[in-house]
Amino acid sequence: MNISSLRGALLAAFACILVGASFTANSVLGDYPYAGGQALRYGLAALLLVLLLARGERSRPAAVLRTVTRRQWGRLALLAAIGMVGFNLAVLGAERSAEPAVPGVFVGCAPIFVAVLAPLMDRRRPTRTVLCAAALVAAGAFVVQGWGRTDLAGILCSVGALAGEVGFAVIAVPVLRPLGPKLLSATVCGLAAAESACLGLVLDGSEALRTPTGAEAIALLWQAAVVTVIGFVCWYMGMQRIGAERATLFSGLIPVSAALTAPLVDAGSYGVAQVGGSLLVGLGVALGSGVLSRSAATGRTDPVPGAPSAAGVENDARHPRRIVVHRHMTAAGKPDQPRVGDGVLGPDPLPAQQYPVPAAPGRRR
């Protein structure tokens, strides 16, 4: 694992830990109107991200947005609707007829689906190592959360939550490079705020918004400023470095983080099952991210199969992420070594292959 991949892994892990810790804030917002709360959260996050873009970006965000095509705008609206508004609505619906562990188990299976869908979008085969790691992460998430009481409605809503979690990673892949993590986060937050406001007017009418209590205001501010602004930017920065399938492996840290923070508000306990599940999640993340690979053990920086690399890359407009990775490149300052199947060049008898060439017309030697 090279430095770029390590940074990407740390960013993705940090983002998922923030999301897991936000479940405590979700419990405080149980009585607040759902759609109105999401509109406030994403609207405030979009405002903060715009201020962040105005201070830190060299290129003008408005100029970049003018280059976005209609198809890309449709993808951004779909990302906000499925991966953000729809995901939260599905989780809320599932928890009304099922115990919270049920949607958590379904969402924990997201790494398996992303490990299959993301490579297919790049027109390449899924990586066996990432698939095995995703299975370990899903199993660990199940052990951490367990299984609870549910019915058909709870299962259907949990499937919707799974679709939202997968869509949050997969749908964003083609628009991540042209927009970048910060502008992408700001754009989808603005769209999600508008979609949530429209949904609130349809479902709750004039009761879609109300003045939050002190605890609700703190929870909304935490979700907007920390979970959404910092979490989304870190997530997409990590995904930009290590790819969607490897970044989604770290979503297994969400139930682990939730289980660790639950005892702080007397909302659960961290026992033997949670410890065992956390170890399974850690093993899956380490295996899929390349920490346990032979190159990491020997100190080499060869890229993990199927993963992006910072070494030997060049732009290619035909590639979805505009990057082509050239593997088996010799590091700077080190002699090239022949590999299996390579023909070793020997001395070439050049004098025996030299023939006199007549002078060109009109020229004298």
Residues of the chain with pLDDT under 50: 295-332, 339-344, 348, 360, 363-365
| pLDDT at res. 77 | 96
Please tell me whether residue 355 adopts helix, strand or coil conformation: coil
User: Distance between CA atoms of 159 and 87, rounded to whole angstroms?
Assistant: 10
Residue with tokens 């999401």: 38
User: Distance between CA atoms of 283 and 298, rounded to whole angstroms?
Assistant: 19
| pLDDT at res. 354 | 53
| pLDDT at res. 262 | 66
| Cα four-point dihedral sign 97, 98, 99, 105 | negative
Closest CA relative to residue 172, chosen from 63, 64, 48, 80 = 80
The pTM of this model reads 0.74
| pLDDT at res. 318 | 41
| pLDDT at res. 74 | 96
Contact 181/61 with Cβ under 8 angstroms? no
Question: Letter for the amino acid at 60?
Answer: R
| pLDDT at res. 355 | 53
User: Distance between CA atoms of 187 and 191, rounded to whole angstroms?
Assistant: 6
| pLDDT at res. 153 | 86
| pLDDT at res. 324 | 43
User: Distance between CA atoms of 7 and 262, rounded to whole angstroms?
Assistant: 28
| pLDDT at res. 174 | 92
